[in-house]
Amino acid sequence: MPPGVLNDLNRNGIQCIASVTLLQRFPYHRNHHTIPTMDQNRPTVGGVTAEVLKAVVSEALLGKFTAVFPKLFKCQWKTYEGQKKFYANFSTDCTDSNSNNMSRKFCVGGNWKMNGDQKSIAEIAKTLSSAALDPNTEVVIGCPAIYLMYARNLLPCELGLAGQNAYKVAKGAFTGEISPAMLKDIGADWVILGHSERRAIFGESDALIAEKAEHALAEGLKVIACIGETLEEREAGKTNEVVARQMCAYAQKIKDWKNVVVAYEPVWAIGTGQTATPDQAQEVHAFLRQWLSDNISKEVSASLRIQYGGSVTAANAKELAKKPDIDGFLVGGASLKPEFVDIINARQ
């Protein structure tokens, strides 16, 4: 290693280690006879001269590495095992140590559904990156599978990333399906399961959804487990019966609830512009809290977060967020708009 680099290493510690590692990853000397020395009179970035840094960036661009280039020194990229090890010493742990405590940290999910392209995702990511987001709110973005890696590279690292669906086994002859292992491999740490659209349009049963949740948790993903009644079921007075049945299916498969968030989404309020009043939403959330206490444990009842989903907007988020058993939102269309920032900050 050149003496200049060693000197900078001794002076700058970890910052220069990262710079040296970059030089090793994109060796300048492979295409040039000499490595530019670290002249004290030349401007440097992290101990690397502008000339060397330019060469590193040029090689990265030529290799089209930007498609999966991680956010250096901000968070650990989770796509490839080699990159995990490479960045382990320079990463900032983006997991929240308080997410499983009894205070039930507010959690807001944005479910983009089958919407978005590279241009619009870049705009959303720019909005979220530049906004002052409530640090006491955990944020999870549910992105179409084909754009998960692209979104992970653009979104702030403290935001979680979720697949919108996953199958109940690790691999096999299941054309068109995606496994939890695949989601993890490209940087997702959450998955949304049991959404009413999966139930109603694609015919997924309570039992299948519960099996999916069980496998996703076993594979290390966190799960947003959706439940909710239709308009006909609500008008028939069957809301509690329906959500209890759906919760029972989950409970038969889930033994450890610490990585689960339940999303109560009245189907009649999803994408319709209709929203359950704060009192209506609180009533169901309180019922679910009691159900958990009676059927799982008081500890799970006290700690499990229950989101409300159903035409949540910036206009109604603050009132909904005031209710004692509403621990966040699962947001559809509004998560594609700038007002999503106001929903994230509903408790401020």
Which residues are marked as active site?
195, 265
Q: Which pair of tokens denotes residue 120?
A: 């619009």
Q: What angle do CA 18, 24, 30 make, to 5 degrees?
A: 150
Q: Specify whether the CB–CB gap between 77 and 83 falls below 8 A.
A: yes
Question: Phi, psi at residue 175, to the nearest 5°?
Answer: -55, 130
Closest to 112 in 3D by CA, of 187, 168, 195: 195
3-state DSSP assignment of residue 150: helix
- 314-321 vs 278-295: helix crossing angle, rounded to 10: 50
Closest to 281 in 3D by CA, of 244, 242, 329: 329
In angstroms and rounded to an integer, the radius of gyration of the C-alpha atoms of the chain is: 23
DSSP string, 236-265: TT-HHHHHHHHHHHHHHH-S--TTEEEEE-
Q: How far is CA 289 from CA 126, 224, 296, 346, in A?
A: 37, 16, 10, 22
Q: How far apart are CA 37 and CA 73, in angstroms?
A: 24
Residue 226 corresponds to which amino acid?
A: C
